[in-house]
Structure formats: structure tokens, C-alpha cells
Structure 1
Amino acid sequence: MSLSSPLEGIRVVEFASFVAGPSAGRALAQLGAEVIRVDPLGGAADRHRWPLSARTGESLYWTSLNRGKRSVALDLRSEAGRDLLLDLATAPGPDAGIIVDNAVGRQWLRYEALAARRPDVISVKVQGRADGGPAVDYTVNSASGIAALTGPEDSAAPVNHVLPAWDLLCGQEVVSAVLAALRRRDRTGAGAQIEIALDDVAAAAVADLGWYSEAAERGQRARHGNHLYGAFGVDFASADGDRVMVVVLTPRQWSALTTATGTAESLAALAESAGADFSTDEGRYAHRHRIAEVLTPWFSERSTAQVHAELTAAGVLWGPYRSIAEVAADFAESPETAPVLVSLAQPGIGQVISASSSVRIDGAYSGAVPAVELGRDTEAVLADVLGMGGSEIERLRADGVI
């Protein structure tokens, strides 16, 4: 087993679409697991999800989330196709018998059906809501209360985020659940029925930040726009019109910012007149707008290059604002600036920007491999995992099962 592929030898069957389940499978594959994605013939509902390649029309989304997996396509409307999926999910082996799915309501794939074939099966099912109701990241986010905190200070309209954060977080919860259940099975021999609801992932995360408790005590928090809540942090525009985000979380960072901008005396005078203590998060947060007014001229009088250089030299905690297109262009020009990203030849599309696992093992990134064509590995997987012979596979093909 390679140290850089700690999950080598583990086999996971993934029968899931969209983001949560597939992102979990991708993460497991990047750590060395054999992940077999099973789709219906022609692909699942996410097969052609945007964004699409302008060159070929193929889904950049689908190929990105399914890199490094083996692909099997079955007629899952037929009993024979369903039996094959169940067989793959419960195939023997100490590191097999693991399935991740989001097939809520499909009785033929319920835990009892899996456990009847392999009692120690590990089944991880991604749900929308814990009661079995439907939900996706965007409906969960609106219901969680986050959209009511997002957006300009002077707006009352809810603002949805673009990033499917709850899906991605749910995917990592799935990874943790798979590894925890596998560890328990290795120690005790017991299988596991695990259910993870996207709605629960969001609610638990917000609660763990203390935000629901705060609302229960203080009422609804006001919107803050780009201001950091509870400390000092906000964006400033340079003379070129570019913006940077500046954050202060420690006394050293506050000293660095006031020194870099030459505003230490002005801000000390402001603190004295306001009867505030700017050495604390609370003091800086309470007077964030007035502090920003003092700092703004320094940024607006300097070019973007000057702002970047002087903040960096002073040890200020800051970051630039970049568009997605700018990040892609920067990577094309200087790949070393984003070492987790990888330029990859994706069959059916061409050169794309992919990524290694963000987990570096022994100082090394995992690298990336392309997604294979839908269903390309069907015959090989049936032979490798289920031991099927050529005549049996040919009969399945003739029957339209594969």
C-alpha cells in the first residue's frame, strides 16, 4: 500500500448524483480507494449539468466530480440491472461491501435488501431531509437562515450564495462516515446503516457556530455586507478600482495595519473620543464604519500594486478580490501559484483545470486523473468484481441490461 494512497484496496460503490455523494466518492478516490460509480443507461440526471464545455458541449461539472472513478452503466429499471447493483454493493472482501447512494425512496435499495446479501454491509445514504422529504443545497440554504444574513447592509431581500457549501460539507461528512464505519467493522465485524440529511448538515453547522443561540438571545442579526462579524474586517478600493479584503483578528495584525497605513495616531484619537478600546475585537467591531473611514484614503491614494506590496511587507492579513476568470488566467500563466490545481487532458473535452486532493500526504499532492466515458468499465467491473464470464456478460448486453 502506498503511503500517498492510504485507502488503496478499499472498494466503494457510488450510486449518487449531483454534488454531495459524488464529491464524497471523488475524495475517497483521490485517497486511493477504488470507487465504482453506477449510473442508469444514458446517465443520471446530472450527466449534462452545467457548466458545459464551450468546445464540445460536454459537462465540465460531471467530468470534474467523477475523475478517478470506474464507470458502470446498468438498466436500473430492470430487475436484472438492480440485482447487479446490489451484487456489486455487497460483493465479498474485507475492504468491500460499501455503498454510498442518494436513492431515497427506492425500496429495492433499502438497507435491509443490502444486509440480506451481506450482513456487514456499510450503507451510507444521502437524504434531503431526515424525514425523507426532498431538499437540495439551495432550498436548505434558504431555510437555514443564511440567506437572511447575506448581502448588502441596506437590503432586506434574501441573497443566495453561489457555492453549494452544504453539498460539499455533506460530502465530507459522508467520507468521515465511511471511514468510521469501516474502522468499526474492522474491529467488530459489524456493518452500518448510515443516513445523512443535507438539511441536518446545514442546521448542525449553523448551530455549531453559535448563530441560532445568538438569535434566540438577541434576535435577528443585522446584515453586515462585507464587514466581518464580531471583529474588524472589510474591503477597500485602490486607486485603480481593485479591491482587497483586510482582516484583523489579533493585536499584532491591528498593529501591522495601523503601521502600514500610517493611521496609528488618528485611530488612537478616534478611540479616545469614542471612549472605545481598539485593542479588542469588540471595540474595533463596534466602530468598524468609522475605522474604515479613517483607513479608506490610504487605499484610494495608492495603486493596486502598491497596496499589495505595502500590506504584505507590513504583515497585514489581507487578500485580493479575483474573478473566476482571473484565477483561471493566473493559473495558466503561473501554475506554481496554485499548486493544488492541475492541467489535465480530459477525453471528450480537451485540456481542463482539475485539482489534486487538498490533503497533502508526506508533503505531496495526489495529482489528478481524467473521468472515463460513461459506462466504459461496465464489462471489466462485472468480470473483476463479480467474476462473470464473457458469455454471461454478452447475454446481459443482448438483453439490454448493460
Structure 2
Amino acid sequence: MTGEARNPSSDEQPLDGLTVLDASRVLVGPFCTMQLGDLGADVIKVERPDGGDQTRGWHPPTYGEESAYYVSINRNKRSVTLNLASEDGREVFRDLASEADVLVENFRVGKMEEWGLDYSTLKERNPDLVYCSLSGYGEWGPQKDRPAYDIMMQAEGGMMSITGEENGPPVRVGVAIADIGAGMYATQAILAALLYRELGDSGGQKIDVSLLDGQVAWMSYMASNYFATGDPPGRMGSKHPTIAPYQAFETTDGYVVVATASENLWPKFCRALDREDLIDDERFAVNADRVENRSELDQILDDEFAQYSTAEAVARMEEAGVPASRVRDMEEVFDNPQVRARNMQQTVEHPTIGQMKMAGSPMHFSQTPTAIERHPPLLGEHTEEILHEFGYDSETIANLDDRDIIG
């Protein structure tokens, strides 16, 4: 990359020319590097020869013969198999890292240093390298060596203390948001480090992102509520701690979600339910009153919504100008005309599956659009291609293969 201005063409992408060496697996790292790949970076996914990324084996369900989990987070990458347990394999990795712009890894804390693949070692050959390490608890602190999984991070970071029904058991969010959140923070940090590198003569730097830190940061206003009051917030189901009504209500055939998020919506909401009497009820006059008298209001509204089907309730709210929606499942999500209009369902050609549907990228640019240009790679699909690009001749590659360094 250079800091020179350029006039982008319609087929250029923001990170064209950037090389990312992806030594991560499972979710947090691959989610981060998929975003970089969507933005145009050449992402080289380094995998173990004996099975590759663990998520390749996480099935059912499968998409054709591929793990549905694996394909969801590994598009726009090329796969090279490399045995990092061997010194020869690690030396090949050092060669790749010497020409990369970014390295992403999520091995246990200390493993890359043990292998001689840590930032201090690799920056000697490549001082411009942006090196991002991802872990459960971070690289320092009394818990840095603990194993970590998403459900643990949702529990330790506070998310499960505020998720679930009131007086009910704690509930994990349905997707692995600790991994996804940390992956998003990692992408932001990498892009910031690249910008800093390009704007000056500072070279690369080391980035440390942890799942726990990400969950703590995501507590946002819940953390602020605690700091302000000294009382830890609890579980409230779909309700909002400082807005009412802002929640799901049960109908005759499902649920409707309503967001009465400003004072001017409250009269509209009441009229939509033919309950104009509530507008001037002193218990519910302003939002602070509605929050304070939430239990009484909930009982009234539960009874009202129980009279309508979900479609009827949504229609009444929308006609009155009150934000509302039914709770959509995946089929309904991808049938949504707005989702389709925004290209959030795309297809890519896969060598064994054929046309593969995928969720699109939410990043939309006016001049340098994101694109799905590569299918989630087969294990080692690009090993020879990549090694040739990095100066390895056919004889050397064959020798590495014979010794199980690359296959």
C-alpha cells in the first residue's frame, strides 16, 4: 500500500493490494479476515494439513459437502496448508509474513512466541507488519492463560446477566457475539494501524484484542447505568431499562415488537390500540412515569395485544406511524424486499457445491464496493499457487509436500 491519492475505478476495492496472512481459526479471527477480504485484501488462510480449520468438521448442517459454519466466515480467502509444528513449516510461514501487510492469529497466548512467530521476531524481517493477536482474555493479566469460549465470555463479560426473561435463567445471545464483536474490533484496529502506518514513517505495530474486553466494552449504557446507580442491571426479556413501551408483545399467533422511543410516539401508540384514555393517564404521562409504573402498563398492554394477530398489530402500529415489526425467522429475513434490495443475499460459485448463497457484506461504498469474489476455499486449494507467488519453485514445493510440511 502507499499513501498516494488515486482515482478509483468501479471495480476497485478499498483494500486492493493489501496482503493478509490469516493464521486464525474457528470464528473470531476468520470473521475479522473475511471482512478484510470483502474489502479487497488478498487473504491467505494458513491451515493445518490434517483437517485444517476446526470448523470444517463442525457439522451438521452441511452446505453440500462443506460445513455450513465454515463457509459462513471464510469467503474471499485462499487456503494454504502448512505444518507449523515443524521448523521447516514455520520458516515457510516467516517467508509469507515477510511480505504481508497484516497478520492475524488466535493461538493460545504464548504459542506464537514459542514457535518463533511472534511480533518481535517477525518485525525484524518486516518492520511494516501490522500483527493482530486475538485471545479470550488478552495477553496480560491474571487470567491470560485461561481457555475461552463464546458462552464463557458472554457470562464473564456481563451479557448473560442482562439477557433472558425477568426472574428466568440467564440466556446466551443466539449467535457467538463475543467472537463476532471482538472480530469487528480487530478489523477496526487493523485498519487504524494501517492508516497510521501509511500516514507516517512509524511502520507496523502489535494489536492485542480479547473477547472479554469486547464484551465489557459492549456493555455501553448498561455499564453506565451501573456506574450511575451502583445497582447491577438484571434481565428484562425484550424490555428496555429506560424506555417504555419498548419490547415484544404476544399476539394471537406470535409476537410483535414495538419501539415507542420518543414522547411524540406515545399518543400515536395509544390511538393505534384504541386506548386514547391512556394518553392522559397520569401514571403514564411521560416516559419516566411509564418506566416507573412499568408493571401496571405491561399488564394493560399485554391484554390489548392479545386481541390481535401479529399482522393486525403491525398494521395498526404502522398506520399510526409507530415503529413495529413481527419477529422474523431466517426464511422471512432473506425474503424481505429491503434485504434483497440492499444485496444482503448474494451467491458465489463453489467448485463442489455450485451456486452457494451467502449473507452479503453490510459495508456499502459509493466508489469502491465490497464484493464476494472468492468461494470459501477447499483445504489447501491454493497452496502451490501461493508458494509459487512467494518465490518457491516446483521442486522445492514437491519436497515440502513429500515431507508433509504442506500437505
1:191 aligns with 2:195: no
- The residue type paired with residue 40 of structure 2 is G
Task: Report the counterpart of residue 146 of structure 1 in structure 2.
Answer: 159
1:279 aligns with 2:286: yes
Task: State the TM-score, normalizing by the size of structure 1.
Answer: 0.88
Name the CA shift for 1:343/1:242 in 2 (closer, same or farther; >3 Å): farther
CA RMSD of aligned residues (A): 2.5
**Cα displacement (A) at 1:360:** 0.8
Pairs aligned (count): 385
Task: Report the counterpart of residue 324 of structure 1 in structure 2.
Answer: 330
- Within 5 A, what are the aligned runs for 1:2-401? 2=9, 5-41=13-49, 42-50=51-59, 52-53=61-62, 55-56=64-65, 58-91=66-99, 96-103=100-107, 104-106=109-111, 107-108=114-115, 109-130=117-138, 131=140, 132-133=144-145, 134-155=147-168, 157-186=169-198, 187-206=200-219, 208-211=220-223, 214=226, 217-232=229-244, 233-239=246-252, 241-269=253-281, 271=282, 274=283, 278-280=285-287, 282-327=288-333, 330=335, 336=340, 339-362=343-366, 366-369=370-373, 370-384=375-389, 386-401=390-405
- The residue type paired with residue 227 of structure 1 is K
Whole-angstrom CA distance in 1 between matches of 2:25 and 2:382: 18
Whole-angstrom CA distance in 2 between matches of 1:100 and 1:235: 40
Whole-angstrom CA distance in 1 between matches of 2:351 and 2:192: 35
SS at match of 2:258: strand
Whole-angstrom CA distance in 1 between matches of 2:133 and 2:16: 23
Task: State the TM-score, normalizing by the size of structure 2.
Answer: 0.87
Whole-angstrom CA distance in 1 between matches of 2:356 and 2:297: 43
**Cα displacement (A) at 1:373:** 1.0
| Alpha-carbon contact 2:333-2:339 (below 8 Å) kept | no
Whole-angstrom CA distance in 2 between matches of 1:368 and 1:67: 7
| Alpha-carbon contact 1:356-1:366 (below 8 Å) kept | no
Whole-angstrom CA distance in 1 between matches of 2:300 and 2:369: 43
- The residue type paired with residue 323 of structure 1 is D
**Cα displacement (A) at 1:387:** 1.7
**Cα displacement (A) at 1:364:** 8.6
Q: Larger deviation: 317-326 or 169-178?
A: 317-326
| Alpha-carbon contact 1:7-1:31 (below 8 Å) kept | yes
Deviation digits for residues 290-321 of structure 1, max 9, x if unmatched?
22333334433333332222222221111211
Q: Larger deviation: 296-305 or 119-128?
A: 296-305
Whole-angstrom CA distance in 2 between matches of 1:140 and 1:292: 32
**Cα displacement (A) at 1:192:** 0.2
| Alpha-carbon contact 1:75-1:82 (below 8 Å) kept | yes
**Cα displacement (A) at 1:235:** 1.5
Name the CA shift for 1:118/1:368 in 2 (closer, same or farther; >3 Å): closer
- The residue type paired with residue 366 of structure 1 is T
Name the CA shift for 1:210/1:149 in 2 (closer, same or farther; >3 Å): closer
SS at match of 1:188: coil
Whole-angstrom CA distance in 2 between matches of 1:220 and 1:334: 38
Name the CA shift for 1:2/1:372 in 2 (closer, same or farther; >3 Å): farther
Deviation digits for residues 115-166 of structure 1, max 9, x if unmatched?
12222221110011123323222111111222122212132x3222222112
| Alpha-carbon contact 1:354-1:368 (below 8 Å) kept | no
Task: Report the counterpart of residue 5 of structure 2 in structure 1.
Answer: none
